[in-house]
Amino acid sequence: MTPAARAQAAITILDQILAGDAAEAALLRWARGSRFAGSGDRAAVRDLVFDSLRCKRSRAALGGAMSGRGLMIGMLIEEARDPASIFTGDGHAPAPLTPEDREGMRAPCGIEGLDLPDWIWSRWRSSLGESAERVAMAMRDRAPVWLRVNKLRATAAQAQAALSDDGIMVEPFAALPSALMVTQGGRRVSGSRAYQEGMVELQDLSPQLACAALPEVRFALDYCAGGGGKALAMASGGIRNVTAHDIDAGRMSDLASRARRAGAAIKVSAPGKVSGRFDLVLTDVPCSGSGTWRRTPDAKWRLGEAGLERLLEIQAAILLEAAQFVAPLGYLAYMTCSLLDDENGSQVARFLSRGGFQLESERRYSPLDASDGFYFALMRRC
């Protein structure tokens, strides 16, 4: 595919997303219907789509319309490229620019330039203070790929060597050498020997840092396990007895195979069937995902104020449920991939006001210091 044909494909997919389709579903539908597109084409089109969703408001202003066409025009203007070089109408290229296209072009203003929904700005600013604009701008860029070395299978040096054999270059994080940032060959990770043999897992830096800060205990429960990434991280970190639970069993469908690959013994509890007490209960609760919007940018535009309020209710309920499984003097860890204080410090403060637990530590990570936005609070039963 030519660059112009890729742009036209992105326009088609973006129009479907703007009409309400989920990004992944629209991309998959296009890929299935475009057998002529090679893996490089599919990756390039995906990048065009996701880059445009990250910068949807600013590029729509630059391109003169909130449409796939407007977003592609805006991208070219933002990159100081002449849109007419792509919008030629030749072959599979987008149709040439029209006077109407040119009349609508303008510089983004206000929150448009930060590529955030208007409704969230007050919460974003009150949560992040002086760094609010810088974090918003960081969310317009692609997130780096991070790997976690699985200490049950390899040392950091062994994992790096195996990755290098497959053309994947990494850099260890100074404060946590088992966290590896991929600098070359990121698309090869899932097919690499290091990944297939369980030496590494895909996991962003911020949850790796949070999991590394968990206390050493005998029995741990990952109460909202999802795919099991944090349960596996706890096992890799030396916790021998880890139980995974999620209210939706389907989300844990791959956990058994992931655990086998990692050499980890993870006990899986059926939904609502957790019993007993644990030295550590981890709750990575459903949240806005505002800290990961550069990875799932369509989620940024799907979330509304009513949806956030529902999430706050769910988070509070999960904290109360999970707390009952904490042993005397045990720990309760609360995590979100959110940057909003409503979901983070304020949520924890409301929980602590009920009594029975005290705050041991808390930390918020952002793209300015630890890749994804993430919040971690560690509480202990009094």
pLDDT tens across 98-129, in order? 999 999 999 999 999 999 999 999 999 999 99
pLDDT 10s digits, 341-352:
999 999 999 999
**pLDDT averaged over the chain?**
96
pLDDT of residue 334: 98
pLDDT of residue 36: 86
Residues 6+ away with beta carbon under 8 Å from 290: 120, 124, 300, 303, 337, 338, 339, 340, 373
Checking if the pLDDT of 148 tops 90, the result is yes
Active site residue 382: no
Checking if the pLDDT of 60 tops 90, the result is yes
β pairing state of 266-269 and 241-245? parallel
As a whole-number percent, the residues of the chain with pLDDT over 90 amount to 99
Of the residues 55, 224, 287, 337, which is catalytic?
A: 337
| pLDDT confidence bin for 298, thresholds 50/70/90 | very high
Annotated binding site: 246, 284
Q: Structural domain boundaries of the chain?
A: 3-115, 146-202, 209-381
304, 337, 375 from 300: Cα distances, Å: 9, 13, 18
Q: Given this chain, do its domains 146-202 and 209-381 carry the same CATH topology?
A: no
- The predicted model gives 304-310 an average pLDDT of 97
Checking if the pLDDT of 200 tops 90, the result is yes
| pLDDT confidence bin for 35, thresholds 50/70/90 | confident
Grouping H, G, I as helix, E, B as strand and the rest as coil, residue 280 is strand
Annotated binding site for S-adenosyl-L-methionine: 246, 284
| pLDDT confidence bin for 250, thresholds 50/70/90 | very high
Q: Decide yes or no: CATH 2.70.98.10 for domain 146-202.
A: no
| pLDDT confidence bin for 180, thresholds 50/70/90 | very high
pLDDT of residue 290: 98
- The predicted model gives 18-43 an average pLDDT of 93
Query: Is the Cβ–Cβ distance between 252 and 272 less than 8 Å?
Result: no
244, 293, 319, 369 from 226: Cα distances, Å: 9, 18, 16, 26
Q: How many CB atoms lie within 10 A of CB 137?
A: 14
Token pair recorded at residue 243: 């139980």
Question: Angle CA(105)–CA(106)–CA(108) in degrees, nearest 5?
Answer: 130
Checking if the pLDDT of 54 tops 90, the result is yes
Output the CATH code of domain 209-381: 3.40.50.150
Checking if the pLDDT of 285 tops 90, the result is yes
